[in-house]
Amino acid sequence: MRGRYPGAAMSDPLQPRPEHKFTFGLWTVGNRGADPFGPPVRPAVPPVRLVQLLAEVGAYGVNLHDNDLVPIDAGAAQRDAIVREFRQACADHGISVPMATTNLFSDPAFRDGAFTAHDPQVRAYALQKTMRAMDLGVELGASVYVFWGGREGCETDAGKDPLDALRWYRECLDFLCGYAKDQGYALRFALEAKPNEPRGDIYLPTTGAVLGFIATLAHPEMVGVNPEVAHEHMAGLNMTHAVAQAWDAGKLFHIDLNDQIPGRYDQDFRFGAANPRAAFFLVRFLEQVGYAGSRHFDAHAYRSEDEAGVRDFARGCMRTYLALKDKAHRFARDPEIQGILAGLRAGDPYEVGSGYARARGRALLQRTFDRGALAARGLGYERLDQLTTELLLGVR
Ligand code: GCO
Ligand code: MN
Ligand code: MN
């Protein structure tokens, strides 16, 4: 292991601790660097060694797809042996498994989707695979179950009616909520939106779309969202706004942190690598509202990296989060910044938020507004934004 970060001792304020709830997927630190243009560049690392690696870099937990751990064609005895060994490794290294999910995208059987495949047998197989993967997740201690519909989409709308797709998706999720309840599993489902890749268009492309869909399910109280920075940025959207809407709805069950330049391929960069300002506003939001779930890094090291680079990548994700959290505290304590913010709210204390009452409505209709004065007021956002930039650049 290279000691690249001087002072990475207990006194280091950027040293991750369990209470930070930093998690990585087996598929993230285990990513071998394959892309559509070239094969893997890093050797396959067994899951138990990845658990050890995560413990060494200071992560709290590891998340997994069923087939990150158990091969798709494993028999019962092989499955049990693998799970036993993995559980032991997690216990030995103090690593928890807070989230689990199903691989419903790699196997060619899912070429037309899983829950939205035309073939009802594929949909039934996807359900069976997910039930077994839920059993696995619960056995490992997971309390959040993620659904990322990677193949739930299309290249052409000539092939599938999107209303059918949504109905089939709903039927499957309702079925699986029923299974979780019947088994007495205390699982919460977190649906993860993505606009495209691997499909030309993926159904439920944004967190907002997912939130609307959840309200149509049989057990909406069990189901929330897992927004991902890269996915919102791919759609050209503001991740913090998506997360705020999810939080406002009581649906922020999980979060995937990484980074992405809009308009590019699915990059899965280290958290904060592309747009540290956006990452700052996101961290500030999560810390301000007291989000208590996992901070899951769904990203991977550049293809240029070896195993030491993978550790640098993992440490980098956590260090950037903690650095931005510190900046968020500074932002909250900065008198000039807070003065500008306080000034924005000053003025006539007329309370729109007190709601409608006939008398209040009448009084408002009578009221005279000085439109010119309202329009003349500068907001000071330039100064505020520059102060934020200087804070982030470390010159403030
Ligand atoms: C992606 C997704 C996945 C999911 C993962 C867990 O773009 O490939 O982000 O990494 O998050 O399958 O559900
Ligand atoms: Mn992604
Ligand atoms: Mn993800």
**Active-site residue 68, yes or no?**
yes
In 46-192, which ranges are E strands? Answer: 61-65, 99-101, 144-148, 153-154, 188-192
Q: Ligand 1: residues whose CB is within 6 Å?
A: 101, 146, 148, 150, 192, 194, 228, 256, 266, 298
Q: In DSSP terms, which residues pair with 202 in a beta bridge? A: 153
- One domain for residues 307 and 369: no
Q: In DSSP terms, which residues pair with 190 in a beta bridge? A: 146, 224
Domain around 150: 18-333
| Residue 28 alpha carbon, nearest atom of ligand 1 | 10
- State how many domains the chain has: 2
> For residues 297 and 63, what is the distance between their CA atoms, to the nearest angstrom?
10
24, 148, 229: residue to mutate for ligand 1 pocket, most atoms within 8 A of CB: 148
Quote the DSSP letter at residue 95.
-
Proportion of the chain above pLDDT 90, given as a percent: 94
Q: Which of 66, 68, 259, 312 is catalytic?
A: 68
User: Domain ends where: 308, 333, 358?
Assistant: 333
Residues bordering ligand 3, an ion, CB closer than 5 Å: 228, 256, 298
- One domain for residues 271 and 372: no
Nearest ligand atom owner, CA of 99: 1
- One domain for residues 190 and 339: no
- One domain for residues 289 and 378: no
Q: How does residue 2 score in pLDDT terms, banded at 50, 70 and 90?
A: very low
| Closest CA relative to residue 177, chosen from 139, 136, 219 | 219
Residue 99's contacts (CB-CB under 8 Å, 6 or more residues apart) are 23, 61, 63, 137, 142, 143, 144, 145, 146, 190, 254, 294, 296
Residue 37's contacts (CB-CB under 8 Å, 6 or more residues apart) are none
The more confidently predicted of residues 62 and 349 is: 62
> For residues 236 and 222, what is the distance between their CA atoms, to the nearest angstrom?
29
- One domain for residues 255 and 225: yes
Q: In DSSP terms, which residues pair with 269 in a beta bridge? A: 259
- One domain for residues 264 and 339: no
> For residues 29 and 151, what is the distance between their CA atoms, to the nearest angstrom?
23
pLDDT at residue 4 is higher than 80? no
Q: Which of 12, 20, 65, 306 is catalytic?
A: 65
| Closest CA relative to residue 61, chosen from 3, 184, 143 | 143
Is the C-alpha dihedral spanning 133, 139, 140, 146 positive or negative?
Answer: positive
Q: Could you read off the pLDDT of 122-157 as tens digits, one per residue?
A: 999 999 999 999 999 999 999 999 999 999 999 999
For the ranges 98-107, 254-263, 326-335, 340-349, which has the lowest average pLDDT? 340-349
- Contact, 296 vs 271, CB < 8 A? no
Helix (H, G, I), strand (E, B) or coil at 360: helix
For the ranges 16-25, 53-62, 287-296, 344-353, which has the lowest average pLDDT? 344-353
> Ligand 3 centroid to 212 CA: how many Å?
20
Q: Where are the alpha helices (DSSP H) in 184-306?
A: 207-214, 229-234, 239-248, 276-289
- One domain for residues 247 and 366: no
**205 belongs to a structural domain:** yes
Which strands form 144-148's sheet, in the order they lie side by side?
223-225, 188-192, 144-148, 99-101, 61-65, 22-25, 295-297, 256-257
How large is the average pLDDT for residues 297-301?
98
User: Which pLDDT value is given to residue 346?
Assistant: 76
pTM: 0.96
End-to-end CA distance of the chain: 34
> For residues 115 and 145, what is the distance between their CA atoms, to the nearest angstrom?
16
User: Which pLDDT value is given to residue 353?
Assistant: 78
pLDDT at residue 3 is higher than 50? no
Please tell me the residue having the least CA distance from ligand 1 atom 2.
148
pLDDT at residue 94 is higher than 90? yes
Q: Could you read off the pLDDT of 127-136 as tens digits, one per residue?
A: 999 999 999 9
How large is the average pLDDT for residues 106-117?
98
- One domain for residues 235 and 372: no
50: domain CATH number is 3.20.20.150
**200 belongs to a structural domain:** yes
Nearest ligand atom owner, CA of 227: 3
**Active-site residue 65, yes or no?**
yes
How large is the average pLDDT for residues 318-340?
98
pLDDT at residue 350 is higher than 80? no
- In the chain, % helix, strand, coil (3-state, to 5) comes to 50, 10, 40
Q: Could you read off the pLDDT of 203-248 as tens digits, one per residue?
A: 999 999 999 999 999 999 999 999 999 999 999 999 999 999 999 9
User: Which pLDDT value is given to residue 7?
Assistant: 44
**6 belongs to a structural domain:** no
- Contact, 323 vs 14, CB < 8 A? yes
Q: What is the residue-averaged pLDDT of the chain?
A: 96
- One domain for residues 133 and 277: yes
29, 207, 228: residue to mutate for ligand 1 pocket, most atoms within 8 A of CB: 228
- One domain for residues 40 and 184: yes
> Ligand 3 centroid to 376 CA: how many Å?
45
User: Which pLDDT value is given to residue 349?
Assistant: 64
| Closest CA relative to residue 181, chosen from 226, 138, 123 | 138
Proportion of the chain above pLDDT 70, given as a percent: 96
**356 belongs to a structural domain:** yes
Q: Could you read off the pLDDT of 71-86 as tens digits, one per residue?
A: 999 999 999 999 999 9
